[in-house]
């Protein structure tokens, strides 16, 4: 069974124009980002749909979401950690 990080990496691969494969540490935002802004929005919508299938609402609109230093959108790994945190309803 694929993990959420596997699903995120697969979705990023589908959304990217790059021939490179994303890794758990691939930058998603910032100067060397892997995805353009439209692809990042599509990734968010994918996460919303995935969260609904798990029975919760994924909140990707917090004030720190787009901060280069603190955002959970920094890498696929940090995004998967936040997804799991919200799924488990951890504050």
Domains of the chain by start residue, with CATH = 4-16+23-87 (1.10.1200)
- The predicted model scores a pTM of 0.87
Helix axes 76-87, 37-54, angle to 10 degrees: 30
**Average pLDDT across the chain, whole number:** 89
Share of the chain above pLDDT 70, in %: 93
Q: In 3D, which of 38, 23, 39 has the Cα closest to residue 76?
A: 23
Between CA 10 and CA 12, with CA 11 as vertex, the angle to 5 degrees is 90
pLDDT of residue 68: 66
pLDDT given at position 9: 95
Residue 58 has pLDDT above 60, yes or no: yes
Closest residue by Cα to residue 12 from 42, 32, 50: 42
Q: Contact, 47 vs 83, CB < 8 A? A: yes
């Amino acid at each position: 069974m694929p993990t959420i990080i596997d699903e995120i990496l697969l979705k990023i691969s589908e959304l990217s124009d790059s021939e490179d494969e994303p890794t758990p540490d691939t930058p998603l935002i910032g100067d060397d980002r892997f995805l353009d802004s439209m692809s990042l929005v599509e990734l968010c919508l994918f996460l919303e749909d995935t969260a609904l299938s798990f029975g919760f609402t994924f909140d990707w609109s917090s004030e720190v979401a787009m901060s280069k230093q603190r955002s959970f959108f920094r890498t696929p790994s940090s995004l998967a950690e936040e997804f799991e945190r919200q799924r488990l309803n951890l504050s």
